[in-house]
Amino acid sequence: MTTVTPQSDDIDRSQADFENFYRATVERTYQAALRMARGDPDLARDATQDAYARLLRQWRGSGSRSRQAMAARGGDEGRHVAAVAVRRVADAERRGGRAATGRSEEGGEHEDVPGRKLPDSVRELIDRQPVERRAVAVLFFLLECGDGEIADILAIPRTVIRAHVERMRVLMKPLVDGARE
């Protein structure tokens, strides 16, 4: 007769928890990476895969302790993994790697991240931004990360983040107002 030790039971439970978490969050993560990658599905898939691989190592390493610590800081693991994927895209572009300009042929609005729709004009504006500002725009406007969280993710000062957010608001205002009319 085989007995299950508490340690192996914890590992099995942790694996099941991660699988459930992955299924619940992968679409949002991929869509955020895709927006940051300007429609390049290969770059978005790579970034998404890297983000989940990194999180899985943390998940296995400290299990519920890391999740409890994140919860204590008010963090959202789903938002965190999506933010890591966005950072992976930005890193790839900064290294002189891939930067695509893939476009949907449909007009109107698209759900870039589940529950968040943007008019095409706003999507195109975000796509035209420099890497750092585009990353801030995706994290702030689509994933609803706060400036402190973005500062941690992108390793840039909060003042720079606030400047990027304010600049994006100024640039987006006429586009959003025009889309409402």
Q: Which two tokens stand for residue 104?
A: 């949907």
Judge whether residue 150 has pLDDT over 70.
yes
User: Sorting pLDDT into bands at 50, 70 and 90, what band is 4?
Assistant: very low
Query: Which pLDDT score is estimated for 103?
Result: 43
Confidence of residue 142 (pLDDT cuts 50, 70, 90): confident
How far apart CA 89 and CA 43 sit, in angstroms, is: 7
Q: How far apart are CA 147 and CA 170, in angstroms?
A: 18
What residues contact 165, with CB distance under 8 A and at least 6 apart? 136, 137, 140, 147
Closest CA to 120 of 111, 109, 128, 135: 109
What's the pLDDT tens digit per position in 53-108? 988 888 776 655 555 555 544 557 888 899 899 999 998 888 875 444 444 434 44
Give the pLDDT of residue 16.
Answer: 83
pTM of the model: 0.70
Mean pLDDT of the chain: 78
Instruction: Assess whether pLDDT exceeds 50 at residue 39.
Output: yes
In the chain, % of residues over pLDDT 90: 36
| Alpha-carbon torsion (149, 91, 50, 119), positive or negative | positive
Longest dimension (CA), the chain: 71
174 Cβ neighbours under 8 A, 6+ residues apart: none
Confidence of residue 13 (pLDDT cuts 50, 70, 90): low
Q: What pLDDT, on a 0 to 100 scale, did the predictor assign at position 30?
A: 94
120 vs 55, residue with greater confidence: 55
* Residue where the block lists tokens 């039971």: 9
- Domain boundaries of the chain, sorted by first residue: 6-180
Q: Which of 39-48, 70-79, 120-129 has the lowest mean pLDDT?
A: 70-79
Cα-flanking dihedrals φ and ψ of residue 110, to 5°? -135, 145
